[in-house]
C-alpha cells in the first residue's frame, strides 16, 4: 500500500467506514472487534541472554487504527505501510511534512523487552520496537489534519540488554481513551519473516497525567479528558496493565522505564 493510501480521510474497517475525527470511536470499535488471531513459529534470529530480570507480562491488545508500518506485515490486516517511517530514538520531529518538532513535556522512555517466563524475562536482542502516540493536543501523525507527517512515530532495535530508548513527549489525550502509548515488538528471521510479534499499550497514572497537563501549556484544551484508566477498556483488558515507571517532574521532564515480557514464538499483529 503506498503512502497516498495512508493519507485518505476515511478509514474502512470490515465494511464500516469511519470519517476522520472519529479516533476514539474507531479505536473502541477495533478493540471490540479484535479477534486474538495468533499463530506460532519456532524460528528466530534474535538471541536471548542467559540473565533474567523482573518484568511485566505484556497483554496483546489492539494496535488501534493509527499504526503505520515501515514494511509490509502479513500478520496485520489492512497493514498501512510507509517505508519512510524512520528508525530513530528522538521521535518528536516530523521528517515528512512541515509541522516541526512537537512541543510538550520531554519523556525519555526506555523499554526493555524480554522473553517472559514465570515472572521474569530473558532479554531479547535484535527485536524491532515501534512506538506511536498522539501529541499534546490528542492528534496522531499521518491521519486527520496531519496526513503525510510522521511525528511521534518511529522504531528502534533492541540492544544486547533488550533495551531501546526513545525521546518523545508525554502523550496528550483524545476522547474515549485514557493516556497511552502504542508498542509493537517484532522479531524477524534472516529472510525477513516475522517469527514473533507482540502488540500492546503503555499507560500512566491519572494523577501524573493531570499534573503534566496542568503544568504545561502545550496540553491546554478547551475540554476535559473524559476517560481515566479505570474506565478505559484497553487498560482494563491488560493483566497486568503496563504502567510506566516515572522519575522526574511534571514541570521539567520525566524519565520512564518499562520492562515487558513477550512470548517468543507467538504472533499477534493486533
Chain positions 133 to 162 lying near Fe ion, rule: CB under 5 A, are none
The residue sitting closest to Fe ion, measured at its beta carbon, is 64
Local structure of 163: helix, strand or coil: strand
DSSP H stretches of helix in 7-153: 23-33
Instruction: Give me the half-sphere count of Cα atoms (radius 13 Å) on the Cβ side of residue 58.
Output: 33
Taking the complex as a whole, the smallest distance from the CB of residue 165 to Fe ion amounts, in Å, to: 21
Tell me if residue 237 falls in helix, strand or coil. Answer: helix
- In the bound complex, what is the minimum distance in angstroms from residue 180's beta carbon to Fe ion? 6
Give the interface segment with Fe ion, choosing from 13-21, 62-70, 83-91, 184-192 (CB under 5 A).
62-70
Contact 167, 192 (CB under 8 A): no
Site string for Fe ion, 7-46 (x = CB under 5 A): ----------------------------------------
Give the binding range for Fe ion (CB under 5 A) out of 57-65, 116-124, 222-230, 233-241.
Answer: 57-65
64 binds Fe ion (CB under 5 A): yes
Distance (Å, whole) CA 184 – CA 156: 11
Give least dist CB 23 to Fe ion, A.
7
Residue 24 half-sphere exposure, CB side, CA atoms within 13 Å? 14
Smallest separation, CB 52 to Fe ion (Å): 31
**Angle, CA 257 vertex, CA 251 and CA 260 arms, to 5°:** 145
> Which residues contribute to the site for Fe ion (CB under 5 A)?
64
Amino acid at each position: 500500500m503506498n503512502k497516498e493510501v495512508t493519507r485518505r480521510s476515511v478509514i474502512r474497517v470490515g465494511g464500516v467506514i469511519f470519517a476522520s475525527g472519529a479516533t476514539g470511536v474507531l479505536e473502541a470499535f477495533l478493540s471490540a472487534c479484535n479477534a486474538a488471531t495468533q499463530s506460532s513459529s519456532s524460528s528466530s534470529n534474535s538471541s536471548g541472554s542467559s540473565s533474567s530480570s523482573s518484568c511485566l507480562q505484556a497483554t496483546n491488545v489492539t494496535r488501534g487504527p493509527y499504526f503505520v508500518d515501515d514494511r509490509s506485515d502479513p500478520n496485520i490486516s489492512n497493514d498501512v505501510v510507509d517505508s519512510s517511517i524512520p528508525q530513530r530514538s528522538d521521535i518528536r520531529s516530523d521528517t515528512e511534512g512541515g509541522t516541526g518538532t512537537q512541543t510538550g513535556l520531554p519523556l525519555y522512555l526506555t523499554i526493555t523487552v524480554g522473553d517472559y517466563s514465570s515472572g521474569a524475562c530473558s532479554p531479547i536482542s535484535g527485536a524491532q520496537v515501534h512506538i506511536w502516540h498522539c501529541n499534546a493536543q490528542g492528534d496522531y501523525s499521518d491521519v486527520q489534519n496531519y496526513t503525510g507527517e510522521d511525528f511521534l512515530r518511529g522504531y528502534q532495535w533492541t540492544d544486547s540488554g533488550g533495551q531501546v530508548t526513545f525521546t518523545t513527549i508525554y502523550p496528550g489525550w483524545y476522547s474515549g481513551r485514557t493516556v497511552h502509548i502504542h508498542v509493537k515488538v517484532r522479531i524477524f528471521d534472516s529472510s525477513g519473516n516475522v517469527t514473533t510479534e507482540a502488540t500492546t499499550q503503555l499507560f500512566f497514572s491519572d494523577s501524573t497525567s493531570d499534573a503534566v497537563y496542568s503544568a504545561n501549556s502545550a496540553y491546554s484544551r478547551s475540554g476535559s479528558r473524559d476517560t481515566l484508566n479505570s474506565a478505559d477498556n484497553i487498560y482494563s483488558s491488560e493483566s497486568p496493565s503496563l504502567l510506566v515507571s516515572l522519575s522526574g517532574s511534571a514541570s521539567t521532564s520525566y524519565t520512564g522505564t518499562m520492562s515487558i515480557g513477550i512470548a517468543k514464538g507467538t504472533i499477534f499483529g493486533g
